[in-house]
A and B are shown apart, each in its own frame.
Chain A
Amino acid sequence: MSSHPTDFQGDILAAIRGAVEGAIKDARCEVTGGNGHYALVVTSPAFTGLNMVASQRLVYSAIAHLMKGAAPAVHAVDSLQTKTA
């Protein structure tokens, strides 16, 4: 994967995990990746009854601030899995 410089200061993996677990009820978030590309597995009862787009929108809205701007911390989410349990 290509590398994408960012002006974000700090631990991006922790920032993603914190943002997701803070925004989605009872969520557990596993993040892997680097250089702007990340893979997320998020487990939360909040996804119950939601389709894939709706579930993933919840996650994306939680990390939207990390994906904004010219040199964002998160350039792309290569893989996003949402589970209810």
Chain B
Amino acid sequence: MNDQTRTQIETTVKNNKVVLFMKGNRSFPQCGFSATVISILNQLGPKYETVNVLAEPAIREGIKEFSQWPTIPQLYVDGEFVGGCDIIKTLHASGELAKLLGAEAQKVEPPKLTLTPSAARAFEAAAADAGSHVLRIEANAQFQYDLLFADKLPGDLIVTSQGRAIHVAPESARRLDGTVIDFIEGPDGSGFKITNPNEPVKVKPLTPKALKAMLDAGDKVELFDVRTPEEHAIASLAGARLLDQPAQTYLLGLDRSTPIVFHCHHGGRSQAAAEHFLKQGFKTVYNLEGGLDAWSQTVDPSVPRY
């Protein structure tokens, strides 16, 4: 290791209270051991820096000599070498790591979570079989949810709604703030419905039956057919406007809160169109699942299939 590398490492560990030398970065760790340490740091929530040794070969070799430690990742706190993945896991399990990060561990506020009365009743029934497990909800960065009875974990935030304690790991907390958990029983089965205001806007799938119900109820929706004029002539859905040039101009002139439904023959082309118009700022965009073909099979057999 040359002097420049040594100085660079010394400065890095001195100027950052918590710094991890790792492969990749916190969003894309490029090795399982680095990923494990990142996940632990994210659970404890301190402010931390990372150094990607894959991008800096001199640091990659230098840090091993500097720490007298042969492997990556390596965690430094207050200028002191704490350990690699194995030691971090051990210190985390014993609670010593949280103590070591101490004041540096950010206080994450518990999120606001709401259970509807029907969700509370459903959990009440499920809790009877859950033993020592607690109700837990998590949301990952892609806003995929875990809603389950599982073990308590150190560092859990605990929120109570309808008298039911809900555990949330600190890394999920901000994503879940304001989430409402409902339980819906319907003819097609029952299940939990999670409504999260932080979720990025997505194209909503719409079944033919649900579209029929919307139209029957007189809901104000704009319905567009993204197929070719030839296909539109063969078979079409009453009230659906062919998305030609004038229709596109009309659509783009609409208020962005207007609910819009796109359909095609089987649901593929309309999904692409729906995603396109979502990017134009429309907030409520539906794609008819299975397209006109599904509509004719489940709602209106008078529409010819082709």
Contact = CB atoms under 8 A, between A and B. Distances in A.
Interface of A: 52-53, 56-57, 60-61, 64, 67, 76-80
Interface residues of B, number: 12
A53 B70 contact: no
A52 B70 contact: no
Contacts of B71: 60, 67, 76-77
B37 to A, nearest CB: 14
Contacts of B68: 57, 60-61
Across chains A and B, which 8 residue pairs bring their CB atoms closest together, nearest first?
A67-B70, A60-B70, A52-B87, A53-B83, A57-B68, A80-B86, A64-B70, A79-B86
B64 to A, nearest CB: 9
A6 B146 CA distance: 41
Interface of A is mostly: helix
A52 B81 CA distance: 11
Contacts of B86: 56, 77-80
B33 interface: yes
Contacts of A57: 68-69
A55 to B, nearest CB: 10
B90 interface: yes
Contacts of A56: 83, 86-87
Contact of B69 (A60, A76, A78, A79): A60
Contact of B83 (A52, A61, A76): A52
Interface of B: 33, 68-71, 81-83, 86-87, 90-91
A67 B61 CA distance: 12
B33 A52 contact: no
Contacts of B82: 53
10 contacts: A52-B91, A53-B69, A56-B83, A56-B87, A57-B68, A60-B70, A76-B71, A77-B71, A77-B86, A78-B86
Given A56-B87, A60-B68, A78-B86, 10 more contacts: A52-B90, A53-B82, A56-B83, A56-B86, A57-B69, A60-B70, A67-B70, A67-B71, A76-B71, A77-B86
A76 B33 CA distance: 10
A5 to B, nearest CB: 17
Contacts of A79: 86
A80 B71 CA distance: 12
Nearest to A1: B32
A53 B33 contact: no
B81 A53 contact: yes
B23 to A, nearest CB: 11
A78 B36 CA distance: 12
A39 to B, nearest CB: 10
B91 to A, nearest CB: 8
Most buried by B among A53, A64, A79, A80: A53
A73 to B, nearest CB: 12
Contacts of A61: 68
